[in-house]
């Protein structure tokens, strides 16, 4: 297997049409990998699903009202 530097040196000596063809093949290969990774990761909306979900059970209505009251009391006092 060629080292990276040797490969670059070899490619620079190739004719332009071969390098362009190689560039096209590499671009297609990279696009396939990016698409595969995107499919595995999901859409941005799917990745955000559940981001605001609390760790434990949801507080009761009374507990929420008390939190709101305490926040207002702290803010305006």
Structural domain boundaries in the chain: 1-46
Paired tokens of 56 = 């434990």
Residue 33 in tokens = 């990998």
Contact 11, 22 (CB under 8 A): yes
Q: What is the pLDDT of residue 23?
A: 96
Q: Are 47 and 55 in contact (CB under 8 A)?
A: no
Q: What pLDDT score does 69 carry?
A: 96
| Beta carbons within 8 Å of 59's beta carbon, 6+ residues apart | 67
Would you state the pLDDT for residue 19?
96
pLDDT of residue 36: 79
- Give residue-wise pLDDT tens across range 13-69: 999 999 999 999 999 999 998 887 766 677 777 777 778 888 889 889 999 999 999
């Amino acid at each position: 297997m060629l080292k990276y530097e040797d490969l670059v040196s070899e490619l620079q000596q190739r004719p332009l049409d071969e390098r362009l063809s190689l560039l096209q093949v590499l671009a297609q290969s990279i696009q396939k990998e990016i698409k595969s990774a995107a499919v595995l990761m999901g859409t941005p909306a799917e990745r955000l699903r559940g981001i605001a979900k609390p760790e434990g059970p949801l507080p009761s209505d009374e507990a929420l009202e008390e939190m709101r009251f305490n926040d207002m009391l702290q803010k305006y006092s």
